């Protein structure tokens, strides 16, 4: 029996997707990316009555977007659920969109998967590679690479939760080469046994974090291991842009590539026709991003989270450092708007 691919089967290959990154690719930044990138536009209809017209999906952005990772345990508790449901908010323009969950408890994953499927997501992804200490302390994320039996039980529970929702959406997994050592040949087949639609492989171990270059030759090996299984393989790690992504597709044979850190300060990443971005365009995007952050999150998320975006947006142009330092002292969208507009007025006077 082949895996159920759902919308993945309808995507043209190779496809290029947006990585889930905590406190980065939130609902706000995804909306900015969708607006400023024009690569996407696939209809993901899966034949269900919930399908939307094809024109609904003629939008920008990556071929597939992921939410930030969300705790399945938290979704199962009324007190934590409200805040986490905000993290799972999305717009129709982001489709197809996959919700990423993590847990070490199959019973929690069953409940969370059922809920997420009922929320209308196009797919569910299980995080089995996150090296965050708090996640690993729970026995989730990268820790699952040390416990294939539990990992398979969580996958099975996810599948059962989706089935209990009455919907039919694909399941995917994001993982690494191994925990402390590269155990791809042992770990990868255990995942393939469960017939996921997709496996995204980050080409480093948990121990390596991002301290060494991603080993794409190991992703090529994963493609070889998965051959004939029906599971699609996405490569991840150190991808600079879409040109680099296409090169890696040729070198490894992957079905798709996931881009992560390259999106920082560059919501135009998935627009291959956008060869350059002016300083003014970049600063206007900063203002829009900040205003949307404040509008959507109000006081539920710290304004400090925007500061990492400023570090990415504000560089490689004259007086960027000085502007960035001013912005680091701001705490509202109005302050940011005033500072940026004042900079633009001064810059135009100097031209």
Annotated catalytic residues are: 130
Q: Is 18 helix (H, G, I), strand (E, B) or coil?
A: strand
- C-alpha 4/C-alpha 18 separation (Å) is 21
- Placement of tokens 């770990």 in the chain: 187
**CB 287 within 8 Å of CB 336:** yes
- C-alpha 296/C-alpha 299 separation (Å) is 9
- C-alpha 193/C-alpha 280 separation (Å) is 51
**CB 276 within 8 Å of CB 241:** no
Beta-bridge partners for 200:
174, 234
- C-alpha 13/C-alpha 9 separation (Å) is 10
- Residue 196 DSSP symbol: -
- Residue 38 DSSP symbol: -
A 10 A CB-CB count for 209 gives 10
Half-sphere exposure of 315 (CA within 13 A, CB side): 9
**CB 265 within 8 Å of CB 315:** yes
């Amino acid at each position: 029996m082949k895996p159920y691919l759902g919308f993945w089967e309808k995507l043209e290959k190779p496809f290029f997707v947006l990585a889930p990154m905590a406190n980065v690719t939130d609902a706000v930044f995804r909306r900015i990316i969708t607006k400023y990138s024009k690569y996407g536009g696939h209809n993901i209809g899966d034949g269900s009555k919930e399908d939307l017209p094809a024109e609904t999906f003629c939008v920008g952005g990556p071929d597939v977007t992921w939410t930030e990772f969300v705790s399945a345990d938290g979704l199962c508790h009324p007190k934590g659920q409200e805040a986490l449901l905000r993290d799972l908010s999305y717009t129709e323009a982001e489709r197809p969109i996959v919700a990423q969950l993590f847990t070490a408890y199959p019973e929690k994953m069953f409940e969370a998967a059922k809920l997420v499927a009922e929320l209308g997501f196009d797919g569910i992804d299980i995080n089995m590679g996150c090296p965050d200490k708090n996640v690993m302390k729970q026995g989730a994320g990268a820790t699952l690479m040390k416990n294939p039996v539990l990992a398979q039980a969580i996958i099975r529970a996810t599948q059962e939760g989706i089935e209990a929702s009455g919907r039919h959406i694909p399941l995917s997994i994001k993982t690494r080469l191994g925990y402390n050592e590269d155990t791809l040949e042992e770990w990868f087949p255990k995942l393939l046994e469960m017939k996921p639609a997709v496996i995204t492989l980050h080409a480093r171990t948990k121990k390596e974090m991002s301290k060494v270059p991603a080993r794409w030759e190991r992703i090529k090996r994963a493609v070889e291991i998965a051959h004939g299984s029906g599971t699609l393989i996405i490569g991840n790690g150190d991808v600079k842009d879409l040109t680099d992504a296409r090169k890696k597709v040729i070198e490894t044979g992957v079905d798709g590539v996931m881009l992560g850190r390259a999106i920082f300060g560059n919501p135009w990443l998935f627009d291959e026709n956008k060869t350059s971005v002016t300083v003014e365009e970049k600063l206007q995007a900063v203002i829009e991003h900040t205003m949307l952050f404040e509008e959507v999150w109000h006081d539920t998320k710290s304004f400090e989270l925007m500061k990492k975006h400023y570090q990415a947006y504000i560089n490689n142009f004259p007086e960027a450092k000085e502007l960035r330092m001013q912005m680091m002292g701001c705490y509202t969208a109005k302050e940011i708007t005033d500072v940026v507009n004042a900079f633009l007025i001064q810059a135009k006077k100097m031209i």
